[in-house]
Structure 1
Amino acid sequence: MELRHLRYFVAVAEEQHMTRAALRLGIQQPPLSQQIRDLEGELGVRLFDRAPRSIKLNAAGQVFLKDARRLLADAQDAIARVRQAARGESGRIAVGYTSSASLHPLVPRLLRAFHAEHPGVDLEFQENATRDLLEAVARDVLDAALVRSSSDRYPGLRAIVLADEPMVVALPVGHPLAKRRKTVSMADLADQPWIFYRRADGPGIQDELMPACRKAGFTPHIVADVPRLLSAVTLVSAGRGITVVPQTLEAIHQESVVYRRLDAASAFTIPLTLVFRHPASALIQRFVAMARAPG
């Protein structure tokens, strides 16, 4: 049974006249009559009571008419849904982000705006470390990720930089560097106990931080190594050491952590990056386009 058989049947049932139904469908009357007979033959049931100049639904035809209309409506809905998906207007997006990326105001703004403009798209979220997120995008487990690094180690991925964010020094309350100056140089941090945050062999902020330390002429004395930025700031608040973090983390532990800008000679930025597979689906292309849009 084909959809056209259902359309022919519904037209004949509603017109109760073979010639009028043929005109409505834009086909000749004899082929239409043959198609209706073929349908009845396939079903093994007569759907119409026929007279020389009339055709009328019988009891079986009336039952079948309800199902035929429903099936045709379902088919139209399916066509509409698949066309929406092809245009990137519906479907599902799984987006990952690091804890520090989620704190940047651009991230919730982007997710909120995309949901408002594409209410038919299901947004799913996952927080993880940078390497895990990039590998998940590369393996097609996630559609995109918001991280603080490039995607250079993954040739199948593309990346756009949404923002370059200044780095600041996080110091325990009462620390001498916090008391005596408003800015700090990287050289001032040479003898300090450092809290590092990284995953072995994983890309991230350390790709920028370690060169900044070397440029200032020292290798940091690391007293703790944690997998998350938030964990690093928590250890700073406990007085375990100092660290350097993106500026958006200044909202964390303000009662026990003091944040100081790096001076002009030491200042550097870290990117907020949207990473996705290439080539991208229509839905991801819409997400990327919205991320690129100013404001």
Structure 2
Amino acid sequence: MELRHLRYFVAVAEERHFSRAAQRLHVSQPPLSQQIQALEAELGVPLFTRGRGGVRRTAAGDTLLPLARGILDAVEHAVLQTRHAGRGEAGRLSIGFAGSMPFTDVMLRLLRDYRAAWPQVALDLREQPSQAQIDDLLANRLDLGFLRTTPKAFDPRLATLVVQREPLLAAVHSDHPLAAQPQVKLADLRDEPFVLYSASLGSGLREQTLALCARAGFAPRIAQEVHEMPTLIGLISAGLGVGIVAASMQRAQLPFVTYLGLQDENASTDVLLAWRRDDPSPPLRNFISLATTQRPQAASASAALDGTGAATP
């Protein structure tokens, strides 16, 4: 039995006439009659009774009609879904993101625009530190990651795309002696207690902070280690230390925290997308294409952060 047998049967059953069914199917009547006879022979039962005015379904024909319609509908649905998946219009995309990413413009905008363009793709979002994302990407447990610049070289199996660059700021308690200055050098903080991400997280921002401090000629005195960016800002608000944060973290708006621009060279952080180079997934490729076309918007969003304590409109 072939799908065309079922299509022919449904047409004859609905039209109740071989000639009209043939016209509907754009075939001549003799081949249509032959195909129905072949179907009846295969099933071993008559599906129609023939008469001068047309045909009537037998009990077997009545039984087959809804089943045949269901099969044809299921096949059509399978074809459409397969085509959607092949074009990246359906499927699943797992996306990791560092804890500071929801404060950036770029991640929220890309997710919103991707959802609008490809609503049938299921998004599986996972908050993870940068190193955990890299590990999961390489282990095929993650399709795409939003992460921060890291001084370490990326595994060559991964491709990356810079989607936003923003300044790094020093975050200090508002009563700190340096809080009245619009900008400082990292060397000005050499004697301060630092609040950093925990080393166990493999945070890109922690690695950047350590590298910048080393270039400034000192190793930071680590007073507290945290797992979440809001906790880091909260401890600074409590007067337990200073920290280095991305400019977008000013949007956390905790009290008693002042953000100071850094005069040091390379005091900026990139928001990266990372994915496996050999991953052919259409949903992934659509996301990368969208991110690539929006890079000018990301640059504009980065420029809107003035790096001196507040985000400009």
Q: Which residue of 1 aligns with 2:64?
A: 64
2 CA distance for matches of 1:162 and 1:210?
23
**SS where residue 255 of structure 1 aligns?**
coil
The answer to which of 22-31 and 123-132 deviates more is 22-31
1:46-125 aligned within 5 A? 46-51=46-51, 55-125=55-125
Q: Which residue of 2 aligns with 1:237?
A: 237
Asked if 2 retains the 8 angstrom alpha-carbon contact of 1:129 and 1:228, the reply is: no
Matched-pair identity in % = 37
Q: Which residue of 1 aligns with 2:273?
A: 274
Q: Post-superposition shift, 1:266?
A: 4.4
Q: Which residue of 2 aligns with 1:176?
A: 177
1 CA distance for matches of 2:24 and 2:103?
60
The one-letter code matched in structure 2 to 1:163 is: Q
Asked if 2 retains the 8 angstrom alpha-carbon contact of 1:198 and 1:228, the reply is: no
CA RMSD after TM alignment: 2.4
Post-superposition Cα deviations, 1:126-146, rounded to whole Å, max 9, x if no partner, equal 112222222222223222111
Post-superposition Cα deviations, 1:62-107, rounded to whole Å, max 9, x if no partner, equal 3322221232122112211110111111222221211111210211
TM-score of the aligned structures, taking structure 1 as reference length: 0.89
Q: Which residue of 2 aligns with 1:38?
A: 38
Tell me: CA distance 1:252–1:20, structure 2 relative to 1, closer, same or farther (3 Å): closer
Q: Post-superposition shift, 1:52?
A: 8.1
Q: Runs in 1 of length 4+ with deviation above 6 angstroms?
A: none
Asked if 1 retains the 8 angstrom alpha-carbon contact of 2:129 and 2:203, the reply is: no
Q: Post-superposition shift, 1:18?
A: 4.1
Q: Post-superposition shift, 1:169?
A: 0.3
2 CA distance for matches of 1:253 and 1:13?
69
Post-superposition Cα deviations, 1:148-197, rounded to whole Å, max 9, x if no partner, equal 13694433321101011100001112011113x21110110111111121
Q: Which residue of 2 aligns with 1:246?
A: 246
The one-letter code matched in structure 2 to 1:116 is: A
TM-score of the aligned structures, taking structure 2 as reference length: 0.84
Q: Which residue of 2 aligns with 1:10?
A: 10
Tell me: CA distance 1:201–1:73, structure 2 relative to 1, closer, same or farther (3 Å): closer
Q: Post-superposition shift, 1:246?
A: 0.3
The answer to which of 146-155 and 91-100 deviates more is 146-155
Q: Which residue of 2 aligns with 1:161?
A: 162
Asked if 2 retains the 8 angstrom alpha-carbon contact of 1:138 and 1:277, the reply is: yes
Asked if 1 retains the 8 angstrom alpha-carbon contact of 2:193 and 2:221, the reply is: yes
| Total equivalences in the alignment | 293
Q: Post-superposition shift, 1:121?
A: 2.0
Tell me: CA distance 1:55–1:253, structure 2 relative to 1, closer, same or farther (3 Å): closer
What stretches of structure 1 of length at least 5 have no aligned partner? Answer: none
Asked if 2 retains the 8 angstrom alpha-carbon contact of 1:149 and 1:203, the reply is: no
